[in-house]
Amino acid sequence: MILLEILLGLVVALGLYSALFAARVERAYPPRGRFVEVDGTRIHYVEAGPAEPQGAPIVLVHGASGNAGDMVASLMPVLSKRYRVVAFDRPGHGWSERPSEGDISDPAAQARLLHDGATKIGLDRPVLLGHSWGGAVATAWALDFPDDLSGLLVLAGATHVWEGDVAWYHRIVATPLIGAVFLRLLTVPGGLLLSRASVRGVFAPDAAPEGYAQRIGLPLLFRAGHFRANSTDSGRLREHLARQSQRYGEIRVPTIIVTGNRDKVVWAKLHSYALHDQINGSELIKLVGVGHMPHYVRPDVVIDALERLARRELPRAGTHVVEPEAPVAIF
C-alpha cells in the first residue's frame, strides 16, 4: 500500500511538473512571427527582409527536433538584408498546429501545407532550403510543385531509406497507452537530462554555439504535442522515403546539395551523394570535416549557394569539395 501511494504521488508530481514546465516554456518562447491558416490549420512563420528585396524570396524549412528558430538564429540575419526570407515551423512543431486528419508525417503532406501557406502570404517562386528532415519536405515540394520554385537547396537532407532502428523513445511514443504516459510524465525530465548531450551529438564533430538551445527555443520540443509530432515524423519517415526516393530523377528545379562529410546524423553518402546522382545538373558541395549543421559551421557556403539560386544562376553541375577553414561565428 505504501509503495502504491509513493508511485501515485510520483505520477502526480511528474504530471504536474510537466504541465507547469510546458506553461513556463510557452511564456519564455512565445511565437516570434505570424500565422497563416491553411485548410483550417494555423502555420507559424517568421519573416524578415528589406523594404525592397532583391531576387527571389527564400523559404527555410527546419529539421527534426527543432523549429523555425534554428533558421532564424543562423541564416536569416544575413539573408534578410537583401532578400525576403520566411522560416516556417513544420506542422506540429514550434507554434504550428498539426492537422488531425490525414498522414501529416508524410513529407509530401507537409510540403503541400507549407506550399499553400507560402502561396497565401504572397511568396512568388521562392528558393527553398530544407535541412535534415526538412530536406525530405523540400524534395517533395520540388517534385509536386516544380513550377512554383526558383531553386532548391538540400542541406544535410534526409532523403533516402537507411538501415537500423529509430531511436528508442520514438518506439515508446508509438506504443498505445504507454506512449501517452511517457509523453505526459517523462518527456520533460528525460529531455532536460539528455538535451545537452543531444545537441553536442547533432553538431559533432563541430562544437555547438554557446546558448544554442535557448536561442532557437529548443525546450518547446518537450511539450507533449510537439514531442509526439516529432516522434511520429521520425518514426514513419523511412516508409515515406521508400516511395519518394524513387522519384528524385524527376526533379528539374535548379538544385544545390550541401553536406558535411563527417555527418553522423544523416550520412552523406547514403543521402546527399545519392540524391546528387539522381538529379540531373545538380551541384553537390562536400564540406570536409563538417558534421550535420553546416548552416552554423559554414554559413558562408550555404548563404553563397542560396544567393546564387535567388539570383537565378544555374547550379555549377558536379561535385565541389570545400576544405576546412576557421569556423564562422554567427552568434
Q: 188: buried, middle or exposed (CB in 10 Å: 19+, 13-18, 0-12)?
A: buried
Of 63, 82, 62, the residue nearest 72 (C-alpha): 62
Is-contact 49 83, C-beta < 8 A? yes
CATH architecture under which domain 2-250 falls: 3-Layer(aba) Sandwich (3.40)
The cell for 251 is 526533379
Neighbour tally for 162: CB within 10 Å: 13
**All structural domains of the chain with their residue ranges:** 2-250
Radius of gyration of the chain (CA): 20
The cell for 316 is 555549377
Q: What is the pLDDT along the chain (331 residues), one digit of tens a residue?
A: 666 555 555 555 555 666 787 788 899 999 999 999 999 999 999 999 999 999 999 999 999 999 999 999 999 999 999 999 999 999 999 999 999 889 999 999 999 999 999 999 999 999 999 999 999 999 999 999 999 999 999 999 999 999 987 787 888 887 787 778 777 877 887 778 888 999 999 999 999 999 999 999 999 999 989 999 999 999 999 999 999 999 999 999 999 999 999 999 999 999 999 999 999 999 999 999 999 999 999 999 999 999 999 999 999 999 999 998 755 555 5
Of 230, 226, 240, the residue nearest 167 (C-alpha): 230
First to last CA, the chain: 54
